[in-house]
Amino acid sequence: MIGIIDSGIGGRGIEKEIRKLLPEAKIIYFADSQNFPYGTKPVRVLHRILEKNIAFLIQKGVQIIVLACNSATVSSVEYLRRKFKVPIVGVVPAIKPAARMTKTKKIAIFSTPITSNSQAQKKLIRQYCRGIDVFKIPFRNLARLIEENKKSAFTSEVRAKWLKYQDKNIDTIVLGCTHYTLIKKEIQEIVGPKVKLIDSNLAVARRVKKVYDKLRKEKNGR
């Protein structure tokens, strides 16, 4: 059984991709709306929240945990892997493929403040973005507006931020929060058709499938 954790509906995009690759798998989607949003929580607080949620899912029989949240992953995944024996698959901003994709050598990263300021994201930028201008664009309230389905508010939020960067010749945007992937169409309309949007949903699903297949082979003694 696979357990997917996010602080709301953001991880539904990852769940959708996992179900395509593993239609036979049993999945529990844990929408932790009580602690929404993860992206503005102090790291120690997030550790406690995620420990509790993972322990609950393990009690339910979950054998693979998916942290379907960039903020939870960059702040807590290594800590949680030391705490639990079950495989934990996280999601990080798709910086590596964005660096390969850009033609203008200018990319933007839309994310929460915790992801934008994280050492994990800084490491990815150092590793893959040599010679590339990276514009970090954090949104404090965008995930909440998406969660509450306030379309006019979330489109206004994106449009206001993008106005400051639209003349920077950015051709690739990383959607570094799973909530943002749910409004991909609206973001594309704002930034225009020449700008490519990239996220990690499919990459995470493929990683989950590898772990799932490995566990199944081990269970069958092959």
Whether residue 71 contacts residue 49, with contact meaning beta carbons closer than 8 Å, is answered with no
In the set 18, 64, 69, 114, the catalytic residue is: 69
Residue partners of 79: CB distance under 8 A and separation at least 6: 47
Cis peptide before 42 (omega within 30 of 0): no
Q: What is the 3-state secondary structure (H, E, C) of 39-57?
A: HHCCHHHHHHHHHHHHHHH
Strands annotated E in the chain: 2-6, 27-31, 64-67, 88-89, 106-111, 133-138, 172-175, 196-198
129 is catalytic: no
In the set 4, 14, 46, 177, the catalytic residue is: 177
69 is catalytic: yes
- Taken as a whole, the chain contains a residue count of 222
Residues assigned a catalytic role: 69, 177
